[in-house]
């Protein structure tokens, strides 16, 4: 399902000059006809196999089902990168049962990399088991960061100062789901964003936890409907990063 949607998204990417672009409340938060159609395709393909499930998507909102399962969809995470021809974008799909994340899938059509995780079944990249980095200091790897204009800069800057002061380093590529997948696969040591929406991070959370890492309790305090901070990392640096983020 996600790979089929990925082929369509990649076709849109290769024809991005033709797309209709809209701006949301945040001038840097944009949506294209590609986002809207790819989400619709994911819902339609999923509904064929699981007609009783519910859906929550970035572009088409929530659709209640008749059971406890909820698909949470970000059709193109990293739309700004997508529209400007950069490759830092992906498709992110998570499955919840009640208040638990039970599956997560992040697909990068540009590299044909499919990150997947099921509860109790480890995390995989194209079918091969992956694990978070075996590190015990932020100096031993690179941290992923994200931010938006939904929050003031003052909510990110203390963490950034603490990280750099401790000898750490960071990147920001524009896609939360992709950077969290990199944490799960050992490419980054962690990811932090002071506020994020559920469709951006739920798949990443289960990927990281099934890969042996740690994630903050995102779903607490109405995280599914209101969003929350997200901090995820390799287990060996989780305590230090929580202190840096003021979450300890």
DSSP string, 128-184: EEE-----SSGGGSEEEE---TTS-GGGTHHHHHHHHHTT-EEE--S-HHHHHHHHH
Confidence at residue 110, expressed as pLDDT on a 0 to 100 scale: 96
Distances (CA, A) of 182 to 27, 94, 112, 191: 27, 17, 14, 9
Q: Which residue has the tokens 């990649």?
A: 10
Confidence at residue 27, expressed as pLDDT on a 0 to 100 scale: 47
Cβ atoms within 10 A of the Cβ of 127, count?
A: 7
Full set of structural domains in the chain with CATH: 2-130 (3.30.540.10), 138-245 (3.40.190.80)
111-116 mean pLDDT: 98
Confidence at residue 63, expressed as pLDDT on a 0 to 100 scale: 86
16-41 mean pLDDT: 70
Helix axes 157-165, 238-245, angle to 10 degrees: 130
Give yes or no for residue 26 having a pLDDT over 60.
no
pLDDT digits (tens, 9 = 90+) for 188-200: 999 999 999 999 9
Give yes or no for residue 23 having a pLDDT over 70.
no
47-55 mean pLDDT: 95
First-residue to last-residue Cα distance in the chain? 39
Give yes or no for residue 140 having a pLDDT over 50.
yes
Residue 11 host element (H or E)? helix 2-14
pTM: 0.93
What is the CA 98 to chain-centroid distance, rounded?
A: 20
Cβ atoms within 10 A of the Cβ of 85, count?
A: 10
What is the CA 70 to chain-centroid distance, rounded?
A: 16
Give yes or no for residue 28 having a pLDDT over 70.
no
99-117 mean pLDDT: 97
Binding residues for Mg(2+): 58, 74, 76-77, 200
Band of residue 21 on the pLDDT scale cut at 50, 70, 90: low
Binding residues: 58, 74, 76-77, 200
What is the C-alpha separation between 5 and 86, in angstroms, rounded? 19
């Amino acid at each position: 399902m996600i790979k089929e949607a990925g082929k369509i998204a990649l076709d849109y990417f290769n024809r991005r000059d033709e797309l209709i672009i809209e701006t949301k409340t945040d001038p840097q938060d944009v949506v294209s006809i590609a986002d809207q159609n790819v989400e619709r395709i994911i819902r339609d393909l999923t509904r064929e196999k699981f007609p009783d499930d519910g859906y929550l998507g970035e572009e088409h909102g929530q659709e209640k089902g008749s059971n406890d399962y909820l698909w949470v969809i970000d059709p193109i995470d990293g739309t700004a990168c997508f529209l400007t021809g950069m490759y830092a974008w992906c498709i992110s799909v998570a499955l919840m049962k009640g208040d638990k994340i039970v599956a997560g899938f992040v697909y990068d059509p540009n590299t044909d990399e499919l990150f997947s995780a099921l509860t109790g079944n480890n995390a995989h990249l194209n079918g091969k088991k992956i694990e978070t980095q075996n590190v015990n200091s932020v100096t031993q790897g690179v941290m992923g960061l994200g931010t938006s204009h939904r929050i003031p800069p003052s909510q990110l800057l203390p963490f950034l100062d603490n990280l750099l002061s401790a000898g750490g380093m960071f990147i920001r590529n524009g896609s939360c789901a992709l950077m969290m997948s990199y944490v799960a696969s050992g490419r980054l040591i962690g990811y932090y964003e002071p506020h994020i929406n559920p469709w951006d991070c739920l798949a990443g959370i289960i990927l990281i936890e099934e890969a042996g890492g740690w994630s903050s309790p995102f779903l607490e305090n109405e995280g599914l409907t209101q969003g929350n901070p997200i901090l995820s990392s390799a287990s060996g640096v989780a305590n230090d990063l929580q202190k840096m983020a003021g979450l300890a």
